Chain A
């Protein structure tokens, strides 16, 4: 059957365009406008040219926050992806327990970010928190408000607790879609467990895992609420990630110009990474489709 080409169908996309214009494009344009000006409030603006960009590029503070951000995203991806796959592999394939597992796995995903932060903030406290108190009773010097290592560990473990389920659920969906015939063929060939994983399960999960990596990278790269509630970016600047720094600059110091320049650079990095992931994903689908 021949496909009908009707360009008028593009008008159906208009409502979405209007929505995106108001929620993203217009605010983004405003940020671009702010990034080349200085303001002292009262809606009065003064031309600053490219100074804020120059200042931000030369600022150690921005590079430090970017470095911390990349390390954080790298660590959580390195933990959450393998762990998520492992969890998905160990979940029952069908039956009541499969449903129970799914519900349990979905629970952390339903908790709002600031509540997760509050839970871990209390959980880690050395006076009343179960984790903090126990660790200190065992002789471990654990205090996330003062120790660099303790703060980072808490923030990372919290993220792993909150988001590994997402990777696990996506990987589980990928696993469930593998037809049984593949496993039967593997059994006939007497393939080892590792070979089944390496040559059947992993390639079949590739698509969903790419989505999982993309989602986790983006979310972790933009993380704000959880570390802000737990450590407030401290001790010192130890857990001041990009968005925490950005909010400090824009709202705390009311430096709208530099903050706008900063956020545009932040946006560009995110745009680049999203585009790379998107291209890889689309091409993977095309190759599979052939």
Chain B
């Protein structure tokens, strides 16, 4: 695994995503759901909303890094808000 040049922060990052995927799979099996239409006007399931959240979070983090003069963890708060909004309204 040396060639993959692992670091603790990146390992934690991927572990979080893997844990989220497992969690959502379990949720989908335990509590099946019907897709719903939200503000984006197309059907989404919980998994879709997770994807939109993660993709959006990546862009928010980059925008924060490039534009905001504050420390990077501030972007996490923004992303938490984003996630809440996506799961509530999308």
Contact = CB atoms under 8 A, between A and B. Distances in A.
Judge: A and B partners, yes or no. Answer: yes
Nearest to A268: B58
B62 A33 contact: no
Contacts of A286: 43
A265 B66 CA distance: 12
A279 interface: yes
Contact of B72 (A34, A50, A268, A272): A50
Interface string A11-42: 00000000000000010011011101101000
Contacts, number: 53
A185 interface: no
A36 B65 contact: no
Interface string B3-32: 111110110011000000000000001000
Interface residues of A, number: 26
Kindly name the residue among B7, B43, B51, B62 whose own CB sees the greatest number of chain A CB atoms within 10 A: B62
A197 interface: no
Judged by DSSP, the binding face of B is: helix
Contacts of B29: 7
Interface stretch (A51-59, A98-106, A207-215): A51-59
Interface of A: 7, 26, 29-30, 32-34, 36-37, 39, 43, 45, 47, 50, 53-54, 57-58, 265, 268, 271-272, 275, 279, 283, 286
Interface of B: 2-7, 9-10, 13-14, 29, 42-43, 51, 55, 58-59, 62, 65-66, 72
14 contacts: A29-B14, A30-B3, A32-B10, A33-B6, A36-B7, A37-B5, A37-B7, A43-B2, A45-B7, A57-B62, A57-B65, A271-B55, A272-B55, A272-B59
